Amino acid sequence: MKISCSKSSLLTGIQTVIRALPSKSTMSIMECILINTNGGRITLTVNNLDLGIETVIEGNIEKTGIIALDAKFFSEIIRKMPDSASDITIESDSKFTTVISCEQVKHTMSGRAADEFPYLPDLDKNENIIMSQLSLRELIRKTSFSIADISEDTPGQQTMRGELMEIHDNTVRMCSLDGHRISMVTMELRENYPDRKVIIPGKSLKELAKIINGGAEDDVEIIFNPNHVGFEYGLTKVVSRIIEGNFFDVNKMLVGDYETKVKINKKRLNECLDRSTIYVREGDKKPIVLDIKDESINIKITSASGNMNENVPASKTGKDMIIGFNPRFVIDALNVIDDEEIELDFVNSKAPCFIKKDDMSYVYVVLPVTISGTV
């Protein structure tokens, strides 16, 4: 194999696919980037079986072939090549010895045959939807922070490692939860599709969000298969294994009988909560206390380090209420809401807080913390 391409093109391709590199693996071939030119294009692939990414880069093919190169080593070599107008040349022989050269710089590294490389599965496109890259990226950004951070070996909780993607008519909803909070965001699609539910690993979605950079006019095709979900856009393909099991029925949480409703400026509330975190230490279970009155919310926190007390103007309907929360859980939700004013709904002081929009395009549910002895 012999190819030549610009450093920028090669580095962009490497940085795209290397996000599928496993942190640890029992199969060394999964620590490699596959360079394949047999299809008349320069294709780079990394696949760890749970997540695989493939992309096509620009360049010249002087001799076709296929080779697997250690991904981290190869990436470092390319990254430290000269920033010049000259192309980088990659040439491998029949023994997979690979020479990487540019101007006066030449590296030689050992490659591997592609026989054992785990190729991306072929996806049947009979079940697919189309949406904008911007919408998909926003769905992930606004929900992924509440995916549970648990081990793959944790019994009975594997579905919490992912997000539920639900398709219904012309809407798509993403939902995540970690036992302390729930995030749900719904967006409209351009046309109606058959109902579909799939649980996608959080790691796959977070890596996907880092590499899709198109806007509202740039589409991504989402392909559903029994064991995998694929995302294809431009010259890039991302394939993730899905998580099997039943996701928590979040609709059970969507009650409509609220005793207290509060409308408040999001920025003012967020700034106040952020100030309160000064007194929250790692492992500290001291909550912030919200004392909700007609014209304001009094927010206070007391800890061994000190205390804070602040009033934030608000508009309330319903009963007065005192309730406690972990401030970081509320802040995470506020950070991804774009509205200037938000609504907080409460059933009672022992039930979750609902941060939601009237049209239900977003709903964030935060469980309260016991405040006995802290008020």
CA 137, CA 139: separation in Å to the nearest integer? 5
Report pLDDT digits (tens) over 229-278. Answer: 999 999 999 999 999 999 999 988 887 789 999 999 999 999 999 999 88
Kindly state the average pLDDT of the residues 284-289. 79
CATH T-level assignment (fold) for domain 2-110 = DNA Polymerase III; Chain A, domain 2 (3.10.150)
Write the burial class of residue 160 (CB in 10 Å: 0-12 exposed, 13-18 middle, 19+ buried).
buried
Better pLDDT: 207 or 125? 207
* Helices 266-276, 327-335: inter-axial angle, 10-degree rounding: 140
- Domain extents for the chain? 2-110, 128-248, 254-366
The percent of residues above 70 in pLDDT, for the chain, comes to 97
Does 21 score more than 70 pLDDT? yes
CA 98, CA 1: separation in Å to the nearest integer? 9
pLDDT, residue 373, reads 54
**In the CATH scheme, what is the code of domain 254-366?**
3.10.150.10
Q: What's the N-to-C CA distance of the chain in angstroms?
A: 72
Stated pTM of the model: 0.93
Better pLDDT: 25 or 187? 187
**In the CATH scheme, what is the code of domain 128-248?**
3.10.150.10
168, 195 contact by CB (below 8 A): yes
pLDDT, residue 279, reads 85
Question: Are the folds of 2-110 and 254-366 the same?
Answer: yes
147, 162 contact by CB (below 8 A): yes
